[in-house]
Structure 1
Amino acid sequence: MAPTGKGRGLVADKRYDSRARAAAKAPVPRKPAPRKAPVRKRGLFSRLVLWVWGVIWTILWRLGLLFGLVLGCAVLYFYVQLPNVDKLIDGRARGSVTLLDENEKVFAWRGETFGGQVTPDTVSPHLLHAVIATEDKRFYYHLGVSPRGILSAIVINLEAGRGAFEGNGGSTITQQTAKLLCLGVDYDPRQWKSEADYEDDCRSGGLMRKIKEVPYAIAMELKYSKDQVLTIYFNRAYLGAGSRGFEAAAQRYFGKSAQDVSAAEAAMLAGLLKAPSRYAPTANLKRAQDRAAVIIGLMKDQGYLTEAEAKEALDNPAQLSEAAARNAGGAFADWVMESTPDYLGSDTTEDVVIRTTLDQRIQRAAEEALKSVFDTKLRAGSKTQAAIVVMSADGAVRAMVGGRDLPQAGSFNRATQALRQTGSSFKPFVYASALDLGWSPYDYVDDSPLTINIKGSGPWSPSNYDEEYKGVIPIVQAMMESRNIPAVKIAMAVGLDKVRAVAAGFGVRQELARGPALALGASEATLLEMTGAYAGILNGGVGVTPYGMRDLRLKGDDEPLMGASGGMGERVISPEAAGQLIWMMTQVVQGGTGGRAALGDRPVAGKTGTTSEARDAWFIGFTGDYVTGVWMGYDDNTPLKGVTGGGLPAEIWHEVMVRVEEGMPMTPLPMIVPEPKLPPLPDATETPLPPPAQPVQQDPITAIIQDLLGSGN
């Protein structure tokens, strides 16, 4: 039954309510306070370390701030001074000379050539990639300086036993470009002895150079874009063989533009950046190819070439163009430069183009002929030298070989610089003098012993080469057999002054002997002079001045500044005398001392020459197309052994002209065959013409000689 009393609740309610009140009155327990770690006092050493570190840190950040300010000022200084890119493309202090052959093809350069502006967009992609892979693979990701590259270079140098900054420099392409710009210092001839010294100074290493490079390189990165930095680099880099910039180098070595080079060619060009003189392919092609192979490997490793492309490049290494490989016409180019005013040649500040008379086909023929004869006819190790000149009848030089390429032979041009006794090759001027006075090739001369008393020297008794005497013979036979006594007698009969005048008129410019030995070639001359003199005979008796330059002009100009440097001159002997002399010289080849020079049915005229003790041997002759001179001897005047003008020189001449005349129509010689006073001359296969059947007691020339000797002249 439920309770009914008022105000009384349930017992349970009271129980829970009292508990709640009790809990409310009960005190709340507190959380225990965390324990404090015991404070340890720092020791003296610790406090000292902290103090030292504080001092160091203070110094470091202040030094860093100071360095940053100095670097920033240096960068700003260089930044303000840097010009526009266009003014930095061509950094040469002097111009160049480009030489063109008669077909307008480049065959030689002098000075530092600049092929024209190129940019990363206009060169072959292979070339761009080869340069980046070789010189600075992080080029596009740094601000001109690579601390990692510098540290790596220091380690390499120290491991190699060098100074930290000697050898590898760890330079970025930007730093290399800064060197090419010489950190903004222009060439001053008063400070440097030469432009080469200036270049060496600009490229020098060392700590101070590195310190200067850093702000300059950063300034360049801030001033120019990456492509502009590469443009400067591509155009200013020296790449060997006188080529400045990749366009000039591509033209020099491969005969093509930098935009057309293959991967193998690009690798070879990029390889020149390390050491242009050492790796120039014109100096050592194999070394250049080996260097290029390393770069091809780098290009493959960095993803610029596929495996197949790299293999193709390695299997087909870059080869030089024909002109670069042969270095054609080097002696000819030197001669042309020597005859050009310095201000337009070696010292030019402009780019000059010289159009020349060189025929590279003929030049190649001369070089190959000389090599062929010397390889087969001379013993190994012989130091015998030789020179060749080929020219047209008007004096235009078509080819020139200045000597054999021997160790220590030097660049001495034996065709233009060597003064040598001419020997019997001088005799045509003696006979030209007589013919010009109206003598006939069939007039007599007595080939008998002769003694002449020369004032101040005593008696002089010349002799023939074979030590034999033929008695009274026609002049043409004396010429054919190159007999000395008749030449001396004729020279004295016509007058030595007349002979000197004829020789000088034909272009022998050297001082000529005053005595009768003049007739035997005692005077000296160069091969170029003698060949030019024979050209005067071929063209009918008119003297010529040998020349190699057709005209000279500034690059890009149409109007020449200079014209041809030589050509036809004045008449020396009559056309009739020249024609008869040419006929006499054909007899030298057909039946005389020059038989080895014969070219079959093609008419040839020429003359042999051998000097005293065989120190010099000559053969100079011509066809209807070209005049060619050959000289042989030793640079130190050592006598030749078993060599005469009718021997190896005539054989070399023959080999040259066989190649030169190949495929050409036969051109007749402008000779005049004289009316015979004796029976006709024998064929080339027969013995020389014998003396007349009826003995002649005394010929007119001997009478003249006796009169001269009797009068003391």
Structure 2
Amino acid sequence: MQDPFYSKQKRSKGKNRLLEADAWLDSFLYDGMRSTGRVYTKIQDFFSLFSVRGISRFLVEIASDALSFGAMGAVLMVALALSAMDATASGEFNRAEDYSVIFLDRYGNEIGRRGIRADDSVALSEIPDFLIRATLATEDRRFYEHFGIDVWGTVRALLSNAEGDSSLQGGSSITQQLAKNLFLSNERTIERKIKELFLSFWLEANYSKDEILKLYLDRAYMGGGNFGVVAAAEYYFGKQIQDIDLAEAAMLAGLYKAPTRFAPHVDIAAARGRANVVLTNMVNAGYLTEGQVTAARRRPAEPVDRSEEVNSPNYFLDWAFLETKRIVGDSPELGFVVRTTIDPDLQTHAEDAIISVLREQGAAYNVSQGAMVVMEHNGAVRAMVGGTDYGQSQFNRATAPNRQPGSAFKPFVYATAFEMLGMTPRDAISDAPVCIGNWCPQNYGRSYRGSTTIRAAVASSINTVPVRLSIETGRQPIADMAHRLGIRNEFPVTRSLALGVASVSALDMASSYAVFANGGYRATGFGITRITTLRGEVVYEANPDQGRERVLDEQVVLAMNDVLNAVNYEGTGGRAVVEGVPSAGKTGTTSSYRDAWYVGYTGNYVASVWYGNDNYEAMNNLTGGTLPAMSWQKFMAYAHSNIEVKPLFGVDMEPRPLVIADAEGGDGEETAPERAPTLAPAAAIKLLDLSEKMREALANGAGGALNQAALPSNNESL
């Protein structure tokens, strides 16, 4: 049995240990708090040395907020520049030197070149020193001093332009301009400028200054379809770059900022005035003295006369160059000759149809840009206008899928309804208020007709009817129909899709409507018919009429042509009517008047026309039935003169007979310009092919009898 006294003593010792532990904990906490208090007091005493009051405190708060917002802005800039960083990491940038391509029109005549030709690229040491100095003096005087961005130069340019200086002071450094040329498009957005800054830093970190300057001199657009100073020297002066003089160098250096405005073959007076500004810049930069430039001022450059040459279809050539690189893939060949689908005559009048209308009425409607794509029913692009001034902006508005079509998208809704619901153009449908959730679209005039027909609804571009149909068919089938007919880019399938809230391009819109024009067959727009190497070896040959794929039933096509024909002759497309030419089409206008379209077709051609502003600024009540339809009509009136006007599939309207216009103007009345009679395209191509084969036979020494008999002698007329 345990001793009670021993047990009591044991419990007493345990209690004492607990009291000791409690005392130690209290002492530790007390001492710790006192130590912490002393440290906190010391910290307070230290920071009190930096205490500010009054106006100083206000300034410190402002600086603190500025640093905070600056940090947030830096994070945002990095986020926006991630795609630019990806481009540098993957090497996916605009390598103009990858291929050398000579482009021919549909008849075999040269219309332009892209890429850097092997005999064009010369070392920087071979380029005249005064051209380099003229470039630096005009574009970037501190090029060899800055880190990619010339801060002081940008400030100087802003101040100079604010004071009304007309000498075109530029804010972008040479490195920034090269970054844009190598990696980016010419779209004017804040995101692009941020990417440009990051890419400028990357170029400076990975290339020497001389390499950056050489790349810039090789890639800068110099007007007339020429890229690089070497090609420009040959084009404007008929000289190699090593042989140009100071006056010619000054004229070339004046082209960088505005190549179309100051191109000597466009405006020689403006080109010489700009060259004088460049010479002044060289004197101000300390590169030359006034005495050294006096001779160049007195004897300005004399360019080669190119007044008879047709301007290159540059927007089309840019697109065709990308298509060429896609087609040839990883070919070991570097030089190619590409025959395209472009018709120079139609191209000229397509450009005139856009530019002349904008010049006459653009200001009244607050619209500054337009685009047009013209193609035949099989997708062969005959004309492409990507903007009003290629020298000012190389951004191709005809191929960029970044604009909404508005009501021009409605044919995809009606085609879906005809196909899925078995409806016909004469079927009755209700034009009454309709809602999807809390979204209740209204008609343009904010009125309703009640019971109407589908044909009348399309002609008047009623909004409630396609929305009502989209509820019955579902929105995904409408999106699938648009992709099936030719819209290639993806877009969100939203409740407003039926009214054209999707991003499309003018090229894809023309391709899609071509399905209606040709009876229901796929007609993806294409611009290349043949690619050969410089030795004449065929790399690619297109045959768009072989194995044509039907994408729309013939009965649906007949219904679509019926309702779209009513748009021109009974509805919103009245300004697009060409007398004696059966046509069909659809107008389109987006909310807030940011985009205006007319897409239409005849038995001969399909064309899409877009008008808008690059900054998405709203236009002044411009609808698709006004300027776009007028430009379409102006072009088609010319395109259908002096040719056989073909009937339109499913439209009961007799086309006018072929009449060759009198070159003298007949009765003297003012009429639309008449198209000169030409060979049928197939016949012209066969003659050109025959001509090429004859040249090849002669070059190979074959066919001696052909030399003597088949070809005319020197005394005979060709």
Q: Pick the TM interval, shorter chain.
A: 0.5 to 0.7
Residue identity matched to 1:426: F
What is aligned with 1:26? none
Shift of 1:317: 7.0
Shift of 1:314: 11
Residue identity matched to 1:664: I
Shift of 1:405: 2.1
User: Residue 543 in 1 paired to residue 547 in 2?
Assistant: no
What is aligned with 1:213? none
User: Residue 510 in 1 paired to residue 489 in 2?
Assistant: yes
Q: Distance in 2 between matches of 1:427 and 1:568?
A: 29
Residue identity matched to 2:637: V
Pick from 426, 431, 436 the counterpart of residue 414 of structure 2.
Answer: 431
Q: Distance in 2 between matches of 1:393 and 1:378?
A: 31
Aligned length in residues: 448
SS in 1 for 2:346: helix
Sort the Cα spacing of 1:586 and 1:288 in 2 relative to 1 into closer, same or farther, 3 A: same
Asked if the contact 2:418/2:424 (under 8 Å) is kept, the reply is yes
What is aligned with 1:489? 468
SS in 1 for 2:363: coil
Which is higher, the Rg of structure 1 or of structure 2?
1
Asked if the contact 2:354/2:631 (under 8 Å) is kept, the reply is yes
User: Residue 97 in 1 paired to residue 129 in 2?
Assistant: no
List aligned pairs for 1:253-272, cutoff 5 A: 272=248
Asked if the contact 1:546/1:566 (under 8 Å) is kept, the reply is no
List aligned pairs for 1:377-456, cutoff 5 A: 377-379=361-363, 382=366, 384-405=368-389, 410-437=393-420, 438-452=422-436
Asked if the contact 2:367/2:619 (under 8 Å) is kept, the reply is no
SS in 2 for 1:579: helix
Residue identity matched to 1:241: N
What is aligned with 1:174? none
Asked if the contact 2:565/2:651 (under 8 Å) is kept, the reply is no
Sort the Cα spacing of 1:347 and 1:471 in 2 relative to 1 into closer, same or farther, 3 A: same
Pick from 446, 458, 465 the counterpart of residue 467 of structure 1.
Answer: 446
Pick from 338, 341, 355 the counterpart of residue 371 of structure 1.
Answer: 355
What is aligned with 1:581? 560
Q: C-alpha deviations, 1:5-59, integer Å up to 9, x for none?
A: xxxxxxxxxxxxxxxxxxxxxxxxxxxxxxxxxxxxxxxxxxxxxxxxxxxxxxx
What is aligned with 1:37? none
Asked if the contact 2:368/2:612 (under 8 Å) is kept, the reply is yes
Asked if the contact 2:341/2:529 (under 8 Å) is kept, the reply is yes
List aligned pairs for 1:42-441, cutoff 5 A: 95-113=99-117, 197-198=210-211, 241-242=226-227, 252=235, 272=248, 276-278=252-254, 283-285=262-264, 286=268, 318-320=304-306, 322-323=308-309, 326=311, 328-341=312-325, 350-379=334-363, 382=366, 384-405=368-389, 410-437=393-420, 438-441=422-425
What is aligned with 2:172? none
State, as a whole percentage, how many aligned pairs show the same letter.
Answer: 34
Q: Distance in 2 between matches of 1:107 and 1:624?
A: 28
Shift of 1:548: 1.0
Shift of 1:492: 2.3
What is aligned with 1:532? 511
Residue identity matched to 1:602: V
Q: Distance in 1 between matches of 2:275 and 2:243?
A: 5
Residue identity matched to 1:523: A
Pick from 598, 608, 623 the counterpart of residue 644 of structure 1.
Answer: 623
TM-score, length-normalised on structure 1? 0.55
SS in 2 for 1:366: helix
SS in 1 for 2:305: coil
Residue identity matched to 2:107: N
Sort the Cα spacing of 1:344 and 1:191 in 2 relative to 1 into closer, same or farther, 3 A: farther
Higher deviation after alignment, 492-501 or 584-593: 492-501
Residue identity matched to 1:423: G
Sort the Cα spacing of 1:523 and 1:240 in 2 relative to 1 into closer, same or farther, 3 A: closer
Residue identity matched to 1:466: G
Asked if the contact 1:427/1:520 (under 8 Å) is kept, the reply is yes
Shift of 1:387: 0.9
Q: Distance in 1 between matches of 2:233 and 2:327?
A: 27
Sort the Cα spacing of 1:404 and 1:345 in 2 relative to 1 into closer, same or farther, 3 A: farther
Any stretches of 5+ residues in structure 2 without a counterpart?
1-95, 121-127, 129-202, 218-223, 277-298, 654-718
What is aligned with 1:552? 531
Asked if the contact 1:547/1:566 (under 8 Å) is kept, the reply is no
Q: Distance in 2 between matches of 1:249 and 1:667?
A: 44
Shift of 1:433: 1.7
Q: Distance in 2 between matches of 1:289 and 1:267?
A: 19
Higher deviation after alignment, 397-406 or 348-357: 348-357
What is aligned with 1:156? none
Shift of 1:586: 0.9
Q: Distance in 2 between matches of 1:241 and 1:375?
A: 26
Asked if the contact 1:397/1:546 (under 8 Å) is kept, the reply is yes
Sort the Cα spacing of 1:343 and 1:364 in 2 relative to 1 into closer, same or farther, 3 A: closer
Sort the Cα spacing of 1:345 and 1:555 in 2 relative to 1 into closer, same or farther, 3 A: farther
Asked if the contact 2:365/2:619 (under 8 Å) is kept, the reply is no
Asked if the contact 1:608/1:619 (under 8 Å) is kept, the reply is yes
Q: Distance in 2 between matches of 1:501 and 1:276?
A: 51
User: Residue 626 in 1 paired to residue 605 in 2?
Assistant: yes
Shift of 1:471: 0.9
Q: Distance in 2 between matches of 1:99 and 1:290?
A: 33
Q: Distance in 2 between matches of 1:203 and 1:445?
A: 61
What is aligned with 1:602? 581
Q: Distance in 2 between matches of 1:374 and 1:626?
A: 23
User: Residue 664 in 1 paired to residue 643 in 2?
Assistant: yes
Shift of 1:192: 11
Asked if the contact 1:450/1:485 (under 8 Å) is kept, the reply is yes
Q: C-alpha deviations, 1:85-127, integer Å up to 9, x for none?
A: xxxxxxx9865211111111111211233689xxxxxxxxxxx
Residue identity matched to 2:226: A
Q: Distance in 2 between matches of 1:381 and 1:107?
A: 34
Asked if the contact 2:374/2:381 (under 8 Å) is kept, the reply is yes
What is aligned with 2:592? 613
What is aligned with 1:67? none
Residue identity matched to 1:110: R
Asked if the contact 1:614/1:644 (under 8 Å) is kept, the reply is yes
Asked if the contact 1:605/1:623 (under 8 Å) is kept, the reply is yes
SS in 2 for 1:353: strand
Asked if the contact 1:608/1:645 (under 8 Å) is kept, the reply is yes
Q: Distance in 2 between matches of 1:550 and 1:406?
A: 25
Asked if the contact 1:527/1:629 (under 8 Å) is kept, the reply is yes
Q: Distance in 1 between matches of 2:536 and 2:304?
A: 34
Residue identity matched to 1:509: R
Sort the Cα spacing of 1:369 and 1:568 in 2 relative to 1 into closer, same or farther, 3 A: farther
Sort the Cα spacing of 1:570 and 1:550 in 2 relative to 1 into closer, same or farther, 3 A: same
Residue identity matched to 1:97: V
Sort the Cα spacing of 1:292 and 1:200 in 2 relative to 1 into closer, same or farther, 3 A: closer
CA RMSD after TM alignment:
4.5
Residue identity matched to 1:320: R
List aligned pairs for 1:11-50, cutoff 5 A: none
Sort the Cα spacing of 1:347 and 1:243 in 2 relative to 1 into closer, same or farther, 3 A: farther
Any stretches of 5+ residues in structure 1 without a counterpart?
1-91, 117-134, 136-189, 205-238, 260-265, 294-312, 453-457, 675-713
Residue identity matched to 2:306: L
SS in 2 for 1:505: helix
Q: Distance in 2 between matches of 1:515 and 1:666?
A: 41
